[in-house]
Chains A and B, each alone.
Chain A
Amino acid sequence: MIDNYLELKGVSKSFPGFKLGNISLSLPKGYIMGLVGPNGAGKTTTIQLILNMLEKDTGEILVFGKDNMKNENAIKQDIGVVFDSIFYVDSWTIKDTEKAVSIFYEEWSHDVFNEMVKRFNLPQGKKVGEFSRGMQMKLMLACAFSHNAKLLILDEPTSGLDPVIRDEFLEILQEYIKDGERSVLFSTHITTDLERVADYITIINQGKLVYTGSMEDLMGSYRLIKGRVRDLTVELEKSIIGLRKTDMGFEGLIDAKEATKYKNCVLDTATIDDIVIRISKGGANQ
């Protein structure tokens, strides 16, 4: 039995001016993993490497326990993909889209597709290019669900969606993994979405892996520290990640283990946003 639906071991890819280096992560069956990082961090590159749309330089990528290059065709039968913008021909209708996409999947279910289209209220007669962004996203999801995908890979699906549609989208994801047999890899920079649905999180910054593990561990690893400038010692300054100093005081992120050392400062729980922002700004302090 496969425990991890997705495993990356020391994956690297170099481009002129950018290097995605030594990325390792594991996504167990039945969970949602958030892939976060600022724009240009390497999230989409990581997804493209998983889908074998780009060839890795080094490392190993296992999907459902199989090598993603050697078993590409078999693996992709069980993967559903949703990108940040639609990748169907804009002149297609829903019927055309089903006809074109279904030929690639052995387990395509016309009934499930129709049920999803009805559930998402997608207009039958309209062309895909005339759909709103929310509708386009739902159509990609309907296609992903209709071939009984075990692993859903989402590349910034909620960017540009209004809060109502985003909320609905997150509910759909939670429902999708309910049976414990499916997993989701969800790349985003809207971290509040992840706080709601993600069990695991991977943070990438400037092509480097910053953190991968459970959400609980991440939230417990860091504290937000605030204080007056006069309380900022050299030792404290060195240990703060993403330090921001103003006339009023300072603010930054600190390792939770070291937090108790600084009694004059205010310590707060850090959100994923705090962690990603501070780590992105932190540079050498990491």
Chain B
Amino acid sequence: MIKTKEDYLKSLRDLGHLVYFKGEPISDVTVHPSFAPHINSVAKTYEMALAPEFEDLLTATSHLTGKKISRFTHIHQNVDDLIKKVQMLRVIAHETASCFQRCVGFDGLNATYMTTYDIDEKHGTDYHKRFCEYLKYIQEENFILVGGMTDPKGDRSKAPSKQADPDMFTRVVERREDGIVISGAKAHQTGAVNSHEILVMPTMALREGDEDYAITCAVPLNAKGVILIFGRQTNDERKAESEMDSGNPDFGMVGGEALIVFDQVFVPWDRVFMCGEIDFCGTLVERFATLHRQNYGGCKGGVSDVLVGACALACEYQGTMKASHIKDKLAEMMHLAETVYTGSVACSAMGSKTPSGAYYPDPVLANCTKLNVSRNIYTIARLAHDVAGGIIATLPAESDLRHPEIGKYIEKYMAGVEGVSTEARMKILRLIENMTGGTALVESMHGAGSPQAQKVMYQRLGRIDMKVKWAKKLAGIEE
């Protein structure tokens, strides 16, 4: 069982999965500068679970075994569990100011738990029993799970079975007595290169003719035929160049995403939790999306807390802290952060019990939260740029500060208030740059589904008919 950071690093070294980055195979992800910050961020979830001051949120009691487990492998048993999930995400974000990657698999586990129960009720299958056995294994090992939902999708106007290339959506290519063989890919997979397994799920509701694409299964990332290709991030070469210039040297920037390719991958039946039940794809996707959107006010709220602190410190170092417009902008940033957190707590508090016994957040409020994140985090970043100043876009490199000839000029002209080192000022400005640029922002827009996906949910679940009824009644319209 993985308990410590050291256990986790060893487990990744032992995994021997096939990872590529910039055209090169990576033999040991744990020592590669491009992956180390993401690994540290996940490792923090293990470290905090062992720390007395955090364990109340980071751990839970398994309803299957009664054992103490990581909350990231827990099935929500009540509203309090839903709220604790959000609180946990906020507190970890305070420690990392980055993405800690485990929520996707966490949400996949909960969505699959609920949905396999419903499939069995309708079709008389035994997916739920299989899944519970798998869940016990994940809880016992304390593994990191990729939540594999997003397919590449090719031509978005066509159904999976109508694509020119049938692998644009992950599919079953062969059914055997002992299992199935899958091909296809999952894109934008958070934390993939430093996870142990992937929980493959369908990417959208499916119709008749797409049965081969209605697949949910668990695949170890070292399985034959699985290839991981790590994506680039804004300023990613700085991770290898300079601690200061990378901004957040220990924990990097957001999740670290990869394309996961399945080239004829065999999956035994005990790891298959849906195979052909097109009538439950929409339910599974919606549940996963709601559980994932629930998170965003927690983690992004926590990350924003750190950004507010970084901005306040930068202003203090620059002598602008007493300006009234700075105080106002910092207050606005805090308001926006608390607004997204409020949404996450609200959708959790209004959660309800599913037939499986697992609890589920209010889907409309979870959607509201994520849509607010896609806006508020950009506004928070804009305010951060405003108060920090243009210096975050023009700051010289750490190597200039350390240079024997020109270092004295950087020291002199990049200085702020008396008594604060130039190095401290440069470090905090780099952290702000790291947290508000490129990849860091796009994740707030498209993670857990793009804004339009949330609008679609409003159209579906927003009860506009009831709203019309109330309006008609108050206006005295009877026709």
Q: Tell me whether A and B are bound partners.
A: no
- Give B residues with C-beta under 8 Å from A: none
